Amino acid sequence: MPFRFKLDTIMLIKFIIVLVLFIIIGSLFSALFFLMKNKGVDDDRTVKALTLRIGLSITLFLALIIAGYFGLIGHSL
């Protein structure tokens, strides 16, 4: 039998997921800004922003898989 969570817990999980997605998108746009600002000059800020985006995306993906496995999130079709 799946666990029953309070509505507050479910909304908190949804809020965290949306927040991380906005951070990922912000990191992507900051990398674009650094790329356009420097125009080919060797700069680590673009690489760091893209590395952060990739790390957050992988972390979010794994967290969603683990949350689905333990029944913290479900599907609704």
Q: How far apart are CA 16 and CA 53, in angstroms?
A: 16
| The pLDDT of residue 20 | 95
Q: Is residue 18 part of a domain?
A: no
Confidence class for position 12, pLDDT limits 50, 70, 90: confident
Q: How far apart are CA 26 and CA 29, in angstroms?
A: 5
What average pLDDT does range 42-61 have in this prediction? 90
Domain containing 36 equals: 24-69
Q: Is residue 50 part of a domain?
A: yes
For residue 23, is pLDDT > 50? yes
49-59 core/surface letters (b: 16 or more CB in 10 A; e: else): bbebbeeeeee
For residue 1, is pLDDT > 50? no
Nearest to 73 by CA among 25, 6, 10: 10
Q: How far apart are CA 65 and CA 61, in angstroms?
A: 6
Could you give the number of structural domains in the chain? 1
What average pLDDT does range 36-50 have in this prediction? 82
| The pLDDT of residue 22 | 96
